[in-house]
Structure 1
């Protein structure tokens, strides 16, 4: 009986080993491949909406038996939470938000630029007395902490010689910030498209402070663990993003229709966001992003949001990884 038990346990162990080995499947070239790839989509990333709409990622990876799942990111903060928790393999965020996450230890890399947007500005209602950043002193200003609009607000205050303590920052997710502005629960809002374009068109809200250079780029980020384990699949994801980006460039009106339908916004709002405030021309991360993130990082360090002990240049260089995009995109 004892001998039979030993044999039975040995068989169970063997089955377990075989099962584990099967869970780590192989690609045609013999390298490991994931069973599932989780991508995010976001209303501030029209390219991701086009990719999801046409199912191009599913088509490509179905050939290899890899499942594709999409999750909705309501803001850069949520997108980066998905990455950090392993709930997504790729996520869309503002470059500066990714920098904050990286400086706080998130194991991520920015491998693709989905757009250069002017997606944030400081917004007040049309009848507001607020005309400039200096008028914000003592006012309630909504912003989503950990996102580009929040960092944009900090930079605007800093340039005016103000600090975050000179205003009351109300932490609201982007859509809630737009609603709070429209209902006069706050005095101003550091907005994000498409919500910003919507209140501008629907309520006459005014963008009283704009600075396109303080908007950091829209970056597609990947978990470093995924990139190290499945480099060829990082390239394949970039390939399908490239297909979506080129389609947007060739079909701007149809892309605006997809954005309007996905975000449940009017086509006029979608056109303002997509065709007036987005530049899809350069998808390979590089010197421009390094410069933009370094400048944003200096402000974040000055406010102790990024520790002054962090070697900013090192963190930026570790975050911006153009190697995958350069293999895929020939410019």
Structure 2
């Protein structure tokens, strides 16, 4: 996690001030609904400062913010038309798209190392192989859950070799610290808090098994309001640039919003790389490397063409039209 190059930024990273949207743009919806999530620092910054509300004010449109506790919740909200934009892990978005949730990934809000396998401070478990026959907490449909499955496979195990308790991220932390489970596939900031406040230990880390943070939009919204997709991305770019310039203030904001101690928020922030927001081939390649787990564990329907699904999921055009190249 110390390997994350938080302060690395290209010329493109600071160039959120792309050309303004056309004054003759198509109609804007009366309300744009976005999620915010403690695992997505840009969403917290954007909600705090109201830059999107400010941009939409002349059009008479408003903004509604909805809290997502995990990728699974964000994707449920998108699928039920409760939000227009949702923050998720890349592999979780692919799983949802493969199972019929019509979302488009249009932006990368961070490259995180936000998940790892943790055990309690007094645990004698030190490796993934020692988890055979043990109880593990994870949130189904999220990056930590898929991270767990990939870690098991890499060590010659599968989900039938362990007992997975499907708990939301905060509840997984509690279960680990109360010794109701032997291990937990954790997610920041809960994971960072458990490490610093309860002494939980990380027994398996793999940054390549952490898929990117995707900002997704419902396919119907993107088709009807393409200029507003660009508007949201432009606002996210403003938030991303602010984070890179103001890491200390960002950590304080995360601590305040998520009710965390400042050291926990700082640790979470260090595990994020905000340098490349342009979604594209890099992210498609990462998903192709991760996709076999979805088939191996029968998480998608038999015969699903995941390469085609990845192509359908990732839509780089909106971001490319807003973010200037390096």
Task: Write the mapping of 1:241-252 to structure 2, written as runs, cut at 5 A.
Answer: 241-252=236-247
Distance 1:126 1:235, change over 3 A: same
Structure 2 length as normaliser, TM-score?
A: 0.92
SS at match of 2:115: coil
SS at match of 1:52: helix
Q: CA deviation at 1:126?
A: 1.5
1:325 to 288, 299, 319: 319
2:253 to 255, 258, 261: 258
Structure 1 length as normaliser, TM-score?
A: 0.91
Give CA deviations for 1:22-56 in whole Å, capped at 9, x if unaligned. xxxxx952622211000100000011000000011
Q: How many angstroms apart in 1 are the aligned matches of 2:318 and 2:170?
A: 33
In structure 1, the residue matched to 2:303 is 309
Q: How many angstroms apart in 2 are the aligned matches of 1:184 and 1:309?
A: 40
1:63 to 58, 62, 74: 58
- 1:77 matched to 2:72? The reply is yes
In structure 1, the residue matched to 2:19 is none
Structure 1 stretches of 4+ moved >2 Å: none
Relative to its length, the structure with more helix (as a share) is 1
SS at match of 1:121: strand
In structure 1, the residue matched to 2:208 is 213
Decide which moves more: 125-134 or 263-272: 125-134
2:278 to 281, 284, 306: 284
Please give the root-mean-square deviation of Cα atoms over the aligned residues, in Å.
0.9
Ranges in structure 2 where 5+ consecutive residues have no aligned partner: 1-21
In structure 1, the residue matched to 2:10 is none
Q: CA deviation at 1:307?
A: 2.3
Task: Write the mapping of 1:29-108 to structure 2, written as runs, cut at 5 A.
Answer: 29=24, 31-108=26-103
Q: CA deviation at 1:220?
A: 0.2
SS at match of 1:237: helix
2:192 to 159, 177, 197: 197
Asked which structure has the greater RCO (Cα within 8 Å, sep 6+), the reply is 2
Q: CA deviation at 1:119?
A: 0.2
- 1:267 matched to 2:262? The reply is yes
1:226 to 206, 217, 221: 221
Q: How many angstroms apart in 1 are the aligned matches of 2:58 and 2:148?
A: 45
Q: Which has the larger radius of gyration?
A: 1
Q: How many angstroms apart in 1 are the aligned matches of 2:25 and 2:202?
A: 54
Q: How many angstroms apart in 2 are the aligned matches of 1:135 and 1:112?
A: 38
Task: Write the mapping of 1:90-129 to structure 2, written as runs, cut at 5 A.
Answer: 90-129=85-124
Give CA deviations for 1:215-270 in whole Å, capped at 9, x if unaligned. 00000000000000000000000000000000000000000000000000000000
In structure 1, the residue matched to 2:18 is none
SS at match of 1:161: coil
Ranges in structure 1 where 5+ consecutive residues have no aligned partner: 1-26
